[in-house]
Structure 1
Amino acid sequence: FTASTAMSELPSSVVAARPVSDLPAHLQCSSCSKPLFNARQTPHGCRLCQACVTGLLHEVEKRPCPGHTEACTLRDHHSEEDASGQVEVEVSQATCFPDMATRREVAKLRVRCPNCDAGCSVQLEWARMDQHVQQSCDWHSLRCEQCKELILKKDMQRHTSSECRHRKETCDLCSQLVTHSEMETSHRNLQSDVCCPRFSARCPHCSERSTPMDRRGYVAHLSECPERPVECKYSHLGCRAMVRRSDLERHYRESMDSHLELMDSKLKQAAIAQQSPVSAVPQSSVGAGALAATATDGRDVVDVKRRVGSVFEQFKKLQNRCNVE
């Protein structure tokens, strides 16, 4: 398009503006009946809005005109007749040209601000609405540069200064700039490896009995904290319990039956794994490479049997201990 054509187009930022009064028929799109926003005209005189042209027509391939005028079904020697004796005129984006007269008329229409549903009551000519939206509309949504959320222009200053979770704050202990979301989750958290070097607090596990400590002291304290949750030593068998260090021995005593069941399950799985299907294949039906693989599998079976025997011995000892107690 030429420079004059580009200048006559209304920007997409105001496409949602609604006319204040009812539209005359000649300013309504022949396809969707909405205002002729950046009107285009077909060779047969059908007027379409920008959305219908770009959304319903191919760039160069001709398709039936989406308009609903009588001109859209006139006979045309380039098209084949249908059963009713009528033909649909075919057009493409390339064959539609800007309707400058209609665009000038639409640009003078008085419309409501696109942000009227949010609270803006301004009414202007469509051609002047974009300047209002971009420069002075307090109900226009802007994207926060920090958290990327959409915020009303009138609320942006408050959002960036006191509400944005990614706003920067200065730590009053170490003077570092830290985002608001990190201040409590990591910067002032003894359990975080990026904890403020000058922050001190009681152990989160035994806070009532411990003295305030910094991150370094907390790391040293973890190795002996009686309230710290730790994994059961039978977690490799499937026990998912997290138990306070001071309660570990009681857990082992009270959960002996469940630990025995876990070990029994592991034994059964190992017994199944030791059965190798490759050993049943006749040697005459396999090549040298397969025989080598079979030999490797045989060594694996021996290793599995050895481990099963070791686990079984541990199982028997634990069972005997349980019976004695």
Structure 2
Amino acid sequence: SKHGLRAASSVSAARPVSDLPAHLQCSSCSKPLFNARQTPHGCRLCQACITGLLHEVEKRPCPGHTETCTLRDHHSEEDGGGEVEIEVSRATCFPDMATRREVAKLRVRCPNCDAGCSVQLEWARMDQHVQQSCDWHSLRCEQCKELILKKDMQRHTSSECRHRKETCDLCSQLVTHSEMETSHRNLQSDVCCPRFSARCPHCSERSTPMDRRGYVAHLSECPERPVECKYSHLGCRAMVRRSDLERHYKDSMDSHLELMDSKLKQAAALPSNSAAAVPQSSAGAAPPAPTAADGREVADVKRRVGSVFEQFKKLQVNVANWAHSTMELEQLADRT
């Protein structure tokens, strides 16, 4: 207000410099009576307790801890209880202007004292200090939305904020700092700077700087670029330089065959599981007992699967030769 008696939210937690007199302490939380309100029975509460503990219109027991918060009920004394809690609501409480004027003169520490501010002022003047001159007050950066101390804001916005705008010295476009390296100067990005060039990161000693088109074309054939093994779909996780692929396929033939064997075993196990599965006849009903015919069918499936595995083991050498021949044909096709 114009009299400086109402606390702004930024200074509502300001701490008094000296011990707080009892009559200026909230009857509920014992903190300073900022924006004090008084109940009809004379109990003084701070704004935080009024807002957090009382309903706007519905009456509830007074949160204060004074003798005036209870009344003696003579009708209930015979039942062993002689006191009744007084109920209040926000609507029944009124501003305590006398207490507010007294609290406004309290000398308090800046609410940013823990951050480093050493200023001490009358509480009524503290809000102006915090909003206009406190260098230790936290402000939210308009670009990245982070909380930054007022004294650091200029440096943050000019050289630290990840969303600050920068001018590309190659194409003169305004680009967000966080995008400068991730996309604007990344030759694999669709929005790469048209004037940016770089060497291949895999064979930089032998390559010359390239623009985006040349870079993408070079990567598709760079002999030093790590590529995925063509048997990755079987489970091979190796990343090998393109020039070393042929050696990898020869050296890893056994492991590739083992991966293929594992995949075939998994595929062959599916019919056995399906044949052994017995469907439910109806919801909640017990499955029918397996018959002799069912047992013979399962045994026959297992026998056939075992036969397939025996044949596969005998053909492993032929499979290896076939895989190597296929690899050579693919490489010949790529060169032609």
Deviations 1:231-269 (A, max 9, x none): 111111122222211121122122222222221222122
Task: Summarize the Cα distance change of 1:181–1:77 in structure 2 as closer, same or farther, 3 Å threshold.
Answer: farther
| TM-score, length basis structure 2 | 0.78
Which of 180, 187, 203 matches 1:183? Answer: 180
Which of 154, 157, 160 matches 1:160? Answer: 157
Deviations 1:14-43 (A, max 9, x none): 112112222211110011111001111122
Say whether the 8 Å CA contact 2:74–2:82 is kept in structure 1.
Answer: no
Query: Aligned-residue CA RMSD in angstroms?
Result: 3.4
Structure 2 distance, partners of 1:28, 1:18, is 12
Structure 1 distance, partners of 2:174, 2:80, is 76
- Within 5 Å, give how 1:1-325 maps onto structure 2: 8-75=5-72, 84-275=81-272, 276=274, 319-320=317-318, 322=320
Query: How far 1:97 sits from its partner (Å)?
Result: 2.1
Please say which of residues 8-17 and 31-40 is displaced more in the overlay: 8-17
Say whether the 8 Å CA contact 1:79–1:87 is kept in structure 2.
Answer: no
Structure 2 distance, partners of 1:93, 1:172, is 62
Structure 1 distance, partners of 2:312, 2:34, is 82
SS of the equivalent of 2:208 reads: coil
Deviations 1:164-188 (A, max 9, x none): 1211111111111111222222222
Equivalent residue pairs, number: 299
Question: Which AA in structure 1 matches 2:58?
Answer: E
Task: Summarize the Cα distance change of 1:321–1:279 in structure 2 as closer, same or farther, 3 Å threshold.
Answer: closer
Task: Summarize the Cα distance change of 1:311–1:203 in structure 2 as closer, same or farther, 3 Å threshold.
Answer: farther
Deviations 1:130-158 (A, max 9, x none): 12211111111111111111111111111
Structure 1 distance, partners of 2:169, 2:105, is 57
Task: Summarize the Cα distance change of 1:239–1:76 in structure 2 as closer, same or farther, 3 Å threshold.
Answer: farther
Could you list the runs of 5+ residues in structure 1 that have no partner in the other structure?
286-309
Structure 2 distance, partners of 1:11, 1:82, is 48
Say whether the 8 Å CA contact 1:79–1:88 is kept in structure 2.
Answer: no
SS of the equivalent of 1:151 reads: strand
Task: Summarize the Cα distance change of 1:170–1:77 in structure 2 as closer, same or farther, 3 Å threshold.
Answer: farther
Say whether the 8 Å CA contact 2:257–2:320 is kept in structure 1.
Answer: no
Structure 2 distance, partners of 1:262, 1:81, is 88
Task: Summarize the Cα distance change of 1:311–1:136 in structure 2 as closer, same or farther, 3 Å threshold.
Answer: farther
Task: Summarize the Cα distance change of 1:267–1:174 in structure 2 as closer, same or farther, 3 Å threshold.
Answer: same
Task: Summarize the Cα distance change of 1:242–1:135 in structure 2 as closer, same or farther, 3 Å threshold.
Answer: same
Query: How far 1:109 sits from its partner (Å)?
Result: 1.7
Deviations 1:207-251 (A, max 9, x none): 112111111110010111011121111111122222211121122
Structure 2 distance, partners of 1:201, 1:102, is 71
Task: Summarize the Cα distance change of 1:196–1:148 in structure 2 as closer, same or farther, 3 Å threshold.
Answer: same
Say whether the 8 Å CA contact 1:142–1:150 is kept in structure 2.
Answer: yes
Structure 1 distance, partners of 2:211, 2:258, is 43
Could you list the runs of 5+ residues in structure 2 that have no partner in the other structure?
283-307, 325-336
SS of the equivalent of 1:139 reads: coil
Q: 4+ runs of 1 displaced by more than 4 Å?
A: 76-84, 277-282, 310-318, 321-325
1:288 alignment counterpart:
none
Structure 2 distance, partners of 1:253, 1:167, is 52
Question: Which AA in structure 2 matches 1:176?
Answer: Q
